[in-house]
Amino acid sequence: MKAHIIRYIAYCVAALSLLTGFSANALEIRSVKFSTPDGLSDNTVRQIYQDREGYIWFATFNGVSRFDGYHIVPFPQRTKDRTLKEPRIRALNEDSHGHLWVRSYNDEISCLDLNKGKFIEIEGQNPDENYRYAKELADGSVWLWGENGARRITYEEGRLVSQRVNQFPANKKSRRINFIELDSQGRTLLGASQGLLTSSLFPV
């Protein structure tokens, strides 16, 4: 049976080659190297991410750069409304509202509005709060979490509004959150260092 399958696959490949004129000798793989002279923010790249519009983003040790298929452009780290405090970028993640969440090596998460082309503030967030992870849940909310607890962010009337989760047991000093998920009933589950918690702050 195995030999029969192999012969069948070989027959299909041969037939496809005759129909399309495909030849293994005609296959050519090209590559292009990009570096700082080409517009890359830094030669150390930690992640490459493609957004919903097809743009390619590079998370570097000196901010983020965007590739449109022709040119690489370093994205400004400083705007009138917001500054990317830590340029050493670890990871990128996009939500369904057109925001690119940028996580740095010192666990600072910034929000880049892809529609406006600038970094924006998150209402209610203390500048000293550091979070390690950012994730959008199925209900459209974005959660930030890490050693300092968690914060829920929603997109309301063109702005980001957030609220910090503070319902930790009084006898526990640690606010560390390891993961956040939605259960089958739409409740938010927080995997804390002291066990599984449910967030009752937000009605579902």
Q: Which residue has the higher pLDDT, 165 or 76?
A: 165
Say if residue 100's pLDDT is above 80: yes
pLDDT at residue 138 greater than cutoff 80? yes
Give yes or no for residue 55 having a pLDDT over 80. yes
Q: What is the mean pLDDT of the chain?
A: 80
Question: What's the pLDDT at 20?
Answer: 55
63 vs 41: CA distance, rounded Å: 6
Report the distance separating Cα 124 and Cα 152, nearest Å: 10
State the pLDDT at residue 135.
93
Buried b or exposed e, range 145-179, using 16+ CB within 10 angstroms: bbebbbbbbebeeeebebbbbeebeeeeeebbbee
pLDDT at residue 22, as a whole number: 47
In tens, the pLDDT along 146-169 reads: 888 889 999 888 788 888 876 665
- 176 close to 166: Cβ distance less than 8 angstroms: no
Does residue 175 surpass a pLDDT of 50? yes
Question: What is the reported pTM?
Answer: 0.76
- The pair of structure tokens assigned to 142 is 């974005």
Lowest mean pLDDT among 42-46, 70-74, 164-168: 164-168
